[in-house]
Amino acid sequence: MLWFLIILGAIAFVVIGMYNSLVRLRVRADSAWADIDVQLKRRWDLIPNLVETVKGSAGHERETLEAVVEARNRAMSAQGPAEAAAAEGVLAGALGKLFALSEAYPQLRAVEGFTDLQGSLDDLEEGVQNARRYYNAVVRDYNTKTQLFPTNVLARLFGHTGRQFFALGDEGQREGPSVNFS
């Protein structure tokens, strides 16, 4: 009888450990997504300033400016990693077109505010990339844990389902907008 209780206690200890590891990874994934969200919000907050700066030097490029604003709004309303990644890819493309205007309007490159915004956006792009890498690593660990036996039994029992990776769509969207004006 004593051996039975010891074995039952050991099994309970292992089950509790597996459950806690699932919860720990889920919380880390939520935290990592929140970090991405903060970086993206900082990026979205920078875009109106960038658009206003460009309006001053190239305001007649209305279509490009409207595309950036529309892409920003779509990105801000995206829900979940897959939708957010698609919207951010469109936004990166629109920002790339916006920065391409500096080739057509050299006076834009001379505006100090534009170059400052350009540097800030470059820093934010790096922050988004780092946060995305960390999030995807945590999601990989969490998804692996929810699929490995015997943890997968507990995962299904307690509603732990896999998470989506934050991955950009096609190859053309994998890089952030180019902000180098050498």
What six digits make up the tokens of 85?
Answer: 């990644």
Q: Which pLDDT value is given to residue 135?
A: 95
- pTM greater than the 0.95 cutoff: no
Q: Say if 114 falls within a structural domain.
A: yes
Query: Does a structural domain hold residue 83?
Result: yes
pLDDT computed for residue 10 by the predictor: 94
Instruction: Find the DSSP H helices in 59-150.
Output: 62-77, 80-104, 106-110, 112-147
Q: What is the pLDDT of residue 113?
A: 78
pLDDT confidence of 163, banded at 50, 70, 90?
A: very high
Residue 126, domain member (yes or no): yes
pLDDT digits 0-9 by tens, 121-162: 889 989 999 999 999 999 999 999 999 999 999 999 999 998
Structure confidence at residue 181 (pLDDT):
40
pLDDT score of 38: 93
Q: 180 in a domain, yes or no?
A: no
Residue 7 falls within a domain, yes or no? no
CATH code at 132? 1.20.1440.20
- Judging by beta carbons within 10 Å of its beta carbon (0-12, 13-18, 19+), is residue 78 exposed, middle or buried? middle
pLDDT, position 172: 40
pLDDT at position 170 is 47
Banded pLDDT at 169 (limits 50, 70, 90): low
Instruction: Give the domain extent around 165.
Output: 17-173
The predicted pLDDT at position 50 comes to: 85
pLDDT-based confidence at residue 108 (cuts at 50, 70, 90):
confident
Is 76 within the bounds of a domain? yes
Averaged over 36-45, what is the pLDDT?
92
Number of alpha carbons in the 13 Å side-chain half-sphere of residue 70: 9
Domain assignment of residue 3, yes or no = no
Mapped onto helix, strand or coil, the DSSP state of residue 44 is helix
